[in-house]
Amino acid sequence: MPDFMFKKRNVWFFKGDLVSIEHNSKSQGIVAIKNWTQDRIMYMATRDFVRLREHAYTYKEVSELLNYASPTLKTMILKGLIPGPMGRTKNGEIKQGYPAYFSEERIYTIREVLAGRHIGRARKDGLITNNLIVSESELSARMNKAYMVYVKTNDGVFIPTFPETI
């Protein structure tokens, strides 16, 4: 399991906007949220925020999730091949010195684009060969959206298995 899965998250996506928690009143069950995209403070019930929020991932985390190098992802974003992250600025613009984050939806979109890219020499039949990118079910498991099931081999090594839908 990658180390970032156990880090405390301070930044989230809420209804497509990048947000962070400004204040959490546990006794009242209310949380004050700084909406970076709209540049305003929002108040809501803690239970609703926890239920509706989505994780925000950095370049490093996305590269670990997808088994791609971070510079490769940045190059593909600059070329317009894959969607870029949302910056922690007004309107989600990317600016030098400000962190940028990917939503779960964008990560699945990036995975789909990368899965459709051929790696290596072109095949004569035109089919795509890409064994580097993770499957959608493996990505869901890495993002803690699904369970990982391990099989123990005769050597005592645990190998993850992922149920594929046909």
Encode pLDDT of 140-163 as tens digits: 888 888 777 778 899 998 887 766
Whether residue 1 is predicted with pLDDT greater than 60 in this model: the reply is no
Q: Are 104 and 55 in contact (CB under 8 A)?
A: yes
pLDDT of residue 166: 43
Across residues 27-39, what is the average pLDDT?
A: 92
Return d(Cα 150, Cα 162) in angstroms, integer: 9
Across residues 103-128, what is the average pLDDT?
A: 85
Angle between helices 104-115 and 59-66 (to 10 degrees): 40
- Which tens digits make up the pLDDT trace of 35-48? 998 989 999 999 99
Residue 29's pLDDT band (cuts 50, 70, 90):
very high
